[in-house]
Structure 1
Amino acid sequence: MVSNKKIARNVGVLFLVATAAYILGNGLIASIVNVPDYLIHVYPNKTQVIIGMLLEFINSAAVVGIAIMLFPILKKHNETIALGYVAFRVIEAIILIVGAISPLLLITLSQEYIEAGAPDASYFQTIGALAIKGKYLAFQVAMIVLSLYSLLFCYLLYQSKLIPRLISIFGLIGYASLLTSALLEIFGYSPGIFLFLPGALFEIILPIWLIVKGFNSFAIKSNQ
C-alpha cells in the first residue's frame, strides 16, 4: 500500500519535472533561435543554448522514468499495454534527444558564420533553417508517438479505475487532440495551441492527482 502511494507520487513528480524541463529548455533555445538574425546570436549565447539542450535531455529521461515506474502497477491490469507504454516512451525520448541535438549544430554554424564576417551567403541560412526545422519536426513526431500509445494508456486507466474515470476520459480527449495537432503540423497546417492544450493540461492534472491522491487502492487490490 505504502509502496503504491510512493510510486504514484514519484510518477507525478516525474510528469511535472518532464513538463517543466521541456518548457524551460525549449524556451531558452527558442529565445535565441527565433529571431531574424539568430546566426549572430547563437554562438555568443552558446551556454544558454547548451543549458536548454540539457534540460530537454532531462525531459527525455523523465518520460522514460514515468513508464518504468508505472510498469509494476499497469502490468497487474494488462502487461502487454504496460510493456508497450515503456517501449513507446523510450522511442519518444530518443526522438526528442535527436531533436535536442540540433541546437549544437547551430552553435558550430553560428561560430563559422561570425568568423566569416556574417556574409550574405545563402548556405548558412539554409543549414540553419534545416537544423531548426529538424528540431521542430522531431518534436511533432515525438508527440505522435506519445499520443498513439497514450490513448491505450488512458484506456487502461479508464478500464482499471486506477484514477477517476473522468480524468481518464479527459486524457483520451487530450491525446486525441494532441495527435491531431501533431499530424496537422507535419502536413504543414498550424492549428494553433487549442488542439495541443488538452493533452498538456492532462499531463498537469494527472500528476497533481497522483501526488495528492495516488492510485485507487481498491483497483490495485482487486488485481493482486
Structure 2
Amino acid sequence: MFLEHLYPDRTKVITGMFLELINCAAVVGIAMLMYPILKKQDEALALGYFGSRIIDSVLLIVSIVALQLLVLLSEQYIASGAADRNDFQTVAALAVKGHFAAFDMGMLALSVGSLIFCYLLYRSKLIPRIISIIGLIGYAALFASGCFGIIGHDVGMVLYIPGAIFEIIFPIWLIVKGFNLSAIDAQAIKK
C-alpha cells in the first residue's frame, strides 16, 4: 500500500503542496490584476470571475490539506506496525477521494470563472476573438471533465488539452502584442 512509501518520500509531496500553494496565490493575483480591466467591460461578470478564482483557490487548498493528512497518516501507519492496518487503509482511501473531490470542484470553479473571463475577452475584443473562442472551448471541456470527475467517471486529461492550448497562447499573445488598446479606449468612450 502507498502508505508505506508516502512518509519516507514526503519531501516530494510537500514540495508539490508548496507549489500548489504558490499556484493558488498566483490565481488570485491574476484575478486581482485583471479585475480593473474586466470591470470596464461588465462589472458584475468581472466580480463573478474574481469570486470564482477565490473559490478555485480555496478548493485547491482543501485538496492540499487532504495530501497533508495522507502524509501524517502514512507516518502513523508506519509507526503502528501491523496493528489496525485496515483502518488506516480506509481512512487513506477517504482522504484520497476527498483530495480528488476538492480538486474536481476547484476545476469546476476554475472553468466557470474562465468561461466568464473568455466571454468578456471575446465580447470586448481585447484579444483576437479566435483566442477567446479557444478559451471558451477549453474551459467548457474542463467543466465537462470536472463534472465527470464528481460523478466518478475519470476521463483522463484529454479534456484539459483545449484549455492548456489557451493558457499557452493567451500569455504569449499578451507578452508579444498586449491587449487591444483601441478596444479599451472604445469602452471608456461609451461610458
Q: Residues of 1 paired with 2:82 and 2:163: CA distance?
A: 41
Q: Check conservation: 2:56, 2:107, Cα contact below 8 A.
A: yes
Match of 1:158 in 2: 122
Q: Residues of 1 paired with 2:100 and 2:31: CA distance?
A: 24
Matches within 5 A, 1:29-178: 37-119=1-83, 121-178=85-142
Shift of 1:45: 1.9
Q: Check conservation: 1:137, 1:186, Cα contact below 8 A.
A: yes
- Whichever residue aligns with residue 155 of structure 2, its letter is P
Q: Which has the higher contact order (CA 8 A, sep 6+)?
A: 1
Shift of 1:192: 2.5
Shift of 1:118: 4.7
- Whichever residue aligns with residue 168 of structure 2, its letter is I
1:192 aligns with 2:149: no
> Which stretches of structure 1, 4 residues or longer, exceed 4 Å deviation after superposition?
none
User: Per the alignment, in what secondary structure is the counterpart of residue 196 of structure 1?
Assistant: helix
> How many residue pairs align between the two structures?
188
Q: Residues of 2 paired with 1:46 and 1:103: CA distance?
A: 10
User: Per the alignment, in what secondary structure is the counterpart of residue 223 of structure 1?
Assistant: helix
Which string of whole-angstrom CA distances, capped at 9 and with x for unpartnered residues, describes residues 25-81 of structure 1?
xxxxxxxxxxxx311111112222211111110111111011100011111111111
Q: Residues of 2 paired with 1:207 and 1:119: CA distance?
A: 53
- Whichever residue aligns with residue 92 of structure 1, its letter is D
Structure 2 unpaired stretches of 5+: none
Q: Check conservation: 2:134, 2:165, Cα contact below 8 A.
A: no
Match of 1:211 in 2: 175
Structure 1 unpaired stretches of 5+: 1-36
Q: Check conservation: 2:48, 2:116, Cα contact below 8 A.
A: no
Q: Check conservation: 2:148, 2:154, Cα contact below 8 A.
A: yes
Shift of 1:199: 1.4
Q: Equivalent of 1:202, from 166, 179, 183? A: 166
Q: Check conservation: 1:40, 1:118, Cα contact below 8 A.
A: no
- Whichever residue aligns with residue 203 of structure 1, its letter is E
Is the alpha carbon distance of 1:122 and 1:71 closer, same or farther for their aligned partners in structure 2, counting shifts above 3 Å? same
Which string of whole-angstrom CA distances, capped at 9 and with x for unpartnered residues, describes residues 171-198 of structure 1?
1111111111110111122222222211
What CA RMSD, in Å, does the superposition of the two structures yield over aligned residues?
1.3
Shift of 1:120: 6.7
Q: Give the percent of matched residue pairs that are identical in Structure 1 and Structure 2.
A: 56
